[in-house]
Amino acid sequence: MLSAKIQDALNKQVTIEAESSQVYLAMASWAETQGFEGVSQFMYAHSDEERMHMLKMVKFINERGGHAKVSALTAPPSEFGSFKEVFQTLFEHEVFVSKSINDLVHITLEERDYATHNFLQWYVSEQIEEEALARNILDKINLIGDDKSGFYLFDNDIKQLITVA
């Protein structure tokens, strides 16, 4: 059984995962309008992944006798100045999500809720991967600089980084 405090904290994370999905969906749509097919496919897939993270948490809350709530979401930006800005935002967003997961893990220890603590370990590992991937992509973008043909190749290469986890 979940304590009210844990249920509340998990529900806040449900909102964050849903908002993450919206952020990446907005990036996918923007990239698509700019004609960058690879980046847009990558972002659509990433958006789906975040929805999956959200659903996994919704199901856990309900399975543990709580009630997962569906809340209003903050609208993400729909315009981006550059790819560098897109991937910088993605990286910063993932760092923010990692911090939020860490805070959540901390609350489970305070509340001695070891089942939820155990459940959250999946998210802890996932965040290590997502931050590493975002950092790796940013490094590549920084290497490309303003080189247009570099961007063309990058747009093609990024398709290989599409994973659904």
> What residues are designated binding site for Fe cation?
17, 50, 53, 94, 127
What residues contact 146, with CB distance under 8 A and at least 6 apart?
A: none
Select 7 or 20, whichever has its Cβ closest to ligand OFO: 20
Helix (H) / strand (E) containing 12: helix 4-33
Taking residues 38 to 77 in sequence order and writing x for each that binds ligand OFO by CB under 6 A, - otherwise, the string is: ------------x--x------------------------
* Among candidate residues 158, 27, 159, the one with its CA nearest the CA of residue 90: 27
Residue 41 near residue 15 (C-beta atoms within 8 A): no
19 contributes a contact to ligand OFO by CB under 6 A: no
Select 83 or 123, whichever has its Cβ closest to ligand OFO: 123
Helix (H) / strand (E) containing 138: helix 114-144
CB of 135 to ligand OFO, least distance (A): 13
100 contributes a contact to ligand OFO by CB under 6 A: no
Residue 41 near residue 156 (C-beta atoms within 8 A): no
- Contacting ligand OFO within 106-125 (CB under 6 A): 123
